[in-house]
Amino acid sequence: MRRVSSGWRESRYSRSREWSKGQERSAQVLEFPRRLKPHWKYAACGGTKVLGKRRMPLRVGSMTGEQTQQPLRRLYLLYHEIRSSESRYSYVLEAGSFERQVDLFARMRESKSCRVWPEITFDDGHISNIDLAAPRLRSRGMTARFFITVGWTGTKLGYMGWAELRSLHEAGHSIGAHGWTHKLLTHCSDAELQTELTKSRLTLEDKLGTSITTMSLPGGRANRRVLAACAEAGYTQVYTSEPRAESVPLGTTVGRVNIHGDMPLEWIAKLFAPDGSALSRLHRQYRMKETAQRLLGDRLYMGLWAMVNRREPGTDGKGEGAE
């Protein structure tokens, strides 16, 4: 049984001792391992079996009827709240727009010329994820990754409870952690990191009866200390807000494109273009925002972010804003 310095006990769903040794080693060098060892790769590659050095793309025709072989490049999209009506708050996406985007991704997956495979993720655990998003995914035979702010589960109005999370898990969606309180991890003390990372993982494992190995960073903020703590806490993959396509098998950090409510469908489609120019432009903007964030400091930057993104009072975009 692994020793956890905070006193949180490992659940029976936690990874093997062998895996744990690897994480300890990575923590010693204070950086996340670039590539997981071969026997870890099955869990890390998200649907692509790795046998030795040979990558074997899975055929997933049984999921949607017409899907072809998955290409070895992926682009992860990041969503937050879906709403029946339009909103000026950029982290809210109208349900009809979400539906059109999911249709676009389904068509891409069915196309023989698909070079970058779209993947859907959600952060925070908003109730609309199960009420409005899950039915639209189910009707198209698609699944998503839901990253949950665990301390809000069953306690915060507007966010999913354990019954909803169990239902998503049983429907084949993947569940990961998104901290305990949504505090920016770069602002956490060592003791707070234990709560945000270890307590949230063990609670999800106990409540859902499954192993939790992925998390996404609140506000997309990380540094070497945070990434080492994520590895120490048992996460094999950390999902960020850095807009970049990924190759499979995935590395230990996974970039995502944060989808805003005012992004046109045609613009989203261009992110998947073979020349990668739209995605490169977005990545340059991301780097500029990162610089602004560093220069202004998180407090001032987040104030500006709330204004620019028209954050609504009472919503939980607080702590986001690094996309």
Residues that bind Zn ion (CB under 5 A): 123-124, 218
Comparing CB distances to Zn ion, the nearer of 118 and 125 is 125
Closest residue by beta carbon to Zn ion: 123
Closer CB to Zn ion, residue 124 or residue 323?
124
50 or 233: whose CB is closer to Zn ion? 233
Q: What one-letter code names the amino acid at 317?
A: G
Please choose, from the candidates 1, 21, 23, the residue with its C-alpha nearest in 3D space to the C-alpha of residue 10. 1
Shortest gap between Cβ of 318 and Zn ion (angstroms)?
A: 9
What residues contact 285, with CB distance under 8 A and at least 6 apart?
none
Question: Smallest distance, Å, CB 319 to Zn ion?
Answer: 6
Q: Smallest distance, Å, CB 149 to Zn ion? A: 7
Q: Which is nearer to Zn ion, 124 or 298 (CB)?
A: 124
Tell me the closest approach of the beta carbon of residue 229 to Zn ion, in angstroms.
18
- The least distance separating Zn ion from the CB of residue 86, rounded to whole angstroms, comes to 21
Answer for the pair 64, 140: CB distance below 8 angstroms, yes or no: yes
Residue closer to Zn ion by CB (options 81, 119) is 81
With respect to Zn ion, which residue has the nearer C-beta, 117 or 239? 239
Specify the residue, 14 or 293, whose C-beta has the smaller distance to Zn ion: 293
Helical H segments across the chain, by residue range: 17-28, 41-44, 61-64, 95-110, 128, 134-138, 162-170, 190-193, 200-208, 224-232, 265-270, 277-296, 298-308
Q: Give the span between the Cα atoms of 44 and 209, in whole angstroms.
A: 19
User: Using the 8-state DSSP alphabet, how is residue 237 labeled?
Assistant: E
Tokens 């230990």, residue? Answer: 252
Radius of gyration of the chain (CA): 19
CB of 321 to Zn ion, least distance (A): 10
Q: How far is the CB of 182 from Zn ion (least distance, A)?
A: 6
Angle subtended at Cα 287 by Cα 284 and Cα 292, rounded to the nearest 5 degrees:
130
The SS3 assignment for 205 reads helix
216-229 burial string, b = 16+ CB within 10 Å, else e? bbbbbbbeeebbbb
